[in-house]
């Protein structure tokens, strides 16, 4: 089982997901969040919280597969995000652009 953050989070970074994470597995850079697969328990609590549907769980669609490796590689080296933060500047416009 794997749960991953994907491209829709880029320049959105709403961070609602982190508020329901029971194990603190979200890390982030300026642009987006990543899930540390070593810590995540695949409970799916975060998935319905994302306003841009950026989080996927198994079965992860073909066109999102690359994010498994990206999350695993980047998350551990980045700061832990445990509290809701302000979204990325312009996130609302990007949300509309993405069709949500």
Partner 1 sequence: MSKLGTEQNPVRAAIVGSGPSGFYATEALFRSEPVVLVDMFERLPSPFGLVRSGVAPDHPKLKQPIQVYQRIADTPQFRFFGNVTVGRDISVEQLLACYHVVVFTCGAETDRKLGIAGEDLAGSHTATEFVGWYNGHPDYRDRVFDLSHENAVVIGQGNVAVDVCRILSKTVDELKHTDIAQHALEALAESKIRNVYMIGRRGPAQAKFTHTELRELGELADCDPVVDPNELELNPASRAELEDRSNRVQIKSYEVLKAFASRPPPTRHRRCYIQFLKSPIELKGEGRLQRLVLMRNRLEGEPSHQVAGETGETEELACGVLFRSIGYRGVPIAGVPFDERRGVFPNKDGRIVEGERILPGLYAAGWIKRGPTGIIGTNREDSVATVNSLLADLPSFEATVKPGADGLMAILRERGVRVVSYTDWQQIDAAEVKRGAAVDKPREKFTSVQEMLAVLTAS
Of 50, 56, 52, the C-alpha closest to 4 is: 56
CB 23 within 8 A of CB 41: yes
**Out of 10, 47, 87, 95, the residue judged to bind partner 1 by CB under 8 A:** 47
Q: What are phi and psi of 61, to 5 degrees?
A: -60, 155
**Out of 24, 31, 65, 93, the residue judged to bind partner 1 by CB under 8 A:** 24
Which range binds partner 1 by CB under 8 A, 7-15, 17-25, 62-70, 89-97?
Answer: 17-25
Residues in 52-91 that interact with partner 1 by CB under 8 A: 53, 57, 82-83
Q: Given the structure tokens 């498994």, which residue do they identify?
A: 68
Count the neighbouring beta carbons within 10 Å of the beta carbon of residue 41.
Answer: 12
| Residue with smaller CB distance to partner 1, 1 or 89 | 1
Q: Are strands 33-35 and 3-5 parallel, antiparallel or unpaired?
A: unpaired
Which range binds partner 1 by CB under 8 A, 38-46, 60-68, 72-80, 85-93?
Answer: 38-46
Q: Please give the residue ranges that form the binding site for partner 1 (CB under 8 A).
A: 1, 19-24, 41-48, 53, 57, 82-83
């Amino acid at each position: 089982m794997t749960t991953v953050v994907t491209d829709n989070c880029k320049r959105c970074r709403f961070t609602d997901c982190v508020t329901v994470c029971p194990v603190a597995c979200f890390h982030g850079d300026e642009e987006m969040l990543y899930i540390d697969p070593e810590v995540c328990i695949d409970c799916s609590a975060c998935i319905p919280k994302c306003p841009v549907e950026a989080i996927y769980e198994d079965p992860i669609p073909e066109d999102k597969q690359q994010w498994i490796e990206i999350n695993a590689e980047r998350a551990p080296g980045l700061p832990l995000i445990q509290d809701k933060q302000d979204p990325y500047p312009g996130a609302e416009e990007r949300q509309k652009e993405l069709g949500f």
